[in-house]
Amino acid sequence: MEIIPAIDLLDSVCVRLHQGDYEKVTRFSEDPVDQALSWQKQGATRLHLVDLDGAKSGEPVNDSCVRAITSALNIPVQLGGGVRTLERAEELLAYGLEQVILGTVAIEQPQLVKQLAQRNPGRIIVGIDAKNGKVATRGWISQSEVNATDLASDFNAAGIAAIISTDIATDGTLEGPNLESLRAMANASSVPVIASGGVGCMADLLSLLALEPYGVSGVIVGRALYDGKVDLKEAIRAIGDGRLQDPPTSKPLMA
């Protein structure tokens, strides 16, 4: 299972929001490039960027920072937040990003996402952010009545690379991932699902291994890394590629 460190950008600095609330911001680093290089040095095989300004306003406030990060790193970088047009998605890909993540347009303009996936095979990810099973959009400010699992199944034949499933109620709380929600998403999706939200300790990461057979292939970790509650190198050894021990499988009791 791939562990993907997250850098959330707000006014070109690294922050984290509590449950998506822009009024509850914690700053972690004034130098996103240095932070990105640190995660790469510690063994990260991929980096997850979130443009919080873009998600909220749709304005490309952090583009220079994004370009600096992709230029400095030699691992794949993916980005979400405010990607709402074909032109914007392909502009970001031209910056050196490996993949772009589309959230709001996945529910508002699903055909656009499918068109992008056809034009850019393997480089489009759908981000589904949900609260109580319903999809939220526009930086989590707007709540829809669409079931997250229904939206996931709509893209099964679209050729997208993956779905990032974020549970808003647990995001930034360090209280553990919503395993029930993740399993439902993985069952609804025919493409890999990446977990996001709630990881607060190594036990939370280990708990996700039980969902790997259902299609949960990775996990995005943010606040727990910055708070020191999870050590990236240790986490990679525990659940990453070449991990020390696979999760135990249940065996029938002997008669």
| Residues noted as catalytic | 8, 129
DSSP lists the bridge partners of residue 164 as: 127, 194
Residue 157 in tokens: 């034949």
Residue 47 in tokens: 């980096």
The residue with tokens 């679209």 is: 158
CA 202 to the chain's CA centroid: 18
The distance in angstroms from the start CA to the end CA of the chain is 35
Report the alpha-carbon distance of residue 92 to residue 67 in Å, rounded: 9
| Residue 101 CB partners (closer than 8 Å, separation 6+) | 78, 79, 80, 81, 83, 125, 126, 127, 164
Q: How far is CA 193 from CA 1, 84, 175, in A?
A: 11, 21, 20
Angle of helix 86-94 versus helix 110-119 axis, rounded to 10: 40
Report the alpha-carbon distance of residue 253 to residue 255 in Å, rounded: 6
Indicate the residue type of 120. N
